[in-house]
Amino acid sequence: IATLLGANAAKAAQITQCLSLFYVTASLGLMNKIALRLKISAKARAVAVGLGGFLPYGVMMSGAVNNDPLMTLLVMAFIYFTMKWYEKPTIPNIIPMSLCIGGGMMSKMSAVLIAPAGAIVMLVKLWQERRAFGRYVKQFLVFGVIAFFMFSNVTL
């Protein structure tokens, strides 16, 4: 797009860093939202988000042109939506979880490492409300179909 708008190849390569910067910045916003859900004080949230934003890895990732920042954003979003689903387990709340884990795996396969933690949260909720087994099976099927469909489009 940048070259179509008149930028040379070197400038276009630099412009692509804006996406990585956006992903890292959005990850910091999600970090704050996760801390809000955990009911962490404002000062502690500021310290956590400040550390997340100024650690060397975050700074380097914001200028990198690769898939790491997108995968990090999608894993953070998966954590946030898992917390949201845990508080109110409904199909509309489980769909973003599956989209985030599927998208994370599409961007980088190491995103699958967060899946066992999400599965444990889902199984704990199922155990706590085992009388509503059928309702959770439906939700888990929706989650599985979406995540598997996205994962099946990944070329290994």
Q: Per-residue DSSP letters for 79-132?
A: HHHHHHHHHS--HHHHHHHHHHHHHHHHH-GGGGGGHHHHHHHHHHHHHHTGGG
**Residue 118 pLDDT > 80:** yes
Per-residue pLDDT tens digits for 63-93: 778 889 999 999 999 999 999 999 999 999 9
Whose tokens are 């550390």? That residue is 51
What span, in angstroms and rounded, lies between the C-alpha atoms of 152 and 44?
40
Please compute Rg for the chain using Cα positions: 18
The answer to whether 80 and 34 have CB atoms below 8 angstroms apart is: yes
pLDDT band for position 156 (50/70/90)?
Answer: low
Lowest mean pLDDT among 1-10, 42-51, 96-105, 131-140: 1-10
**Joined tokens for residue 38:** 């955990």
Distance CA 74, CA 102 (A): 9
What tokens appear for 112 in the block?
Answer: 């699958």
CB 75 within 8 A of CB 114: yes
Structure token digits, residue 58: 């975050």
Write the pLDDT tens digit of every residue in 100-113.
999 999 988 899 99
pLDDT digits (tens, 9 = 90+) for 13-45: 888 888 888 999 999 999 999 999 999 999 999
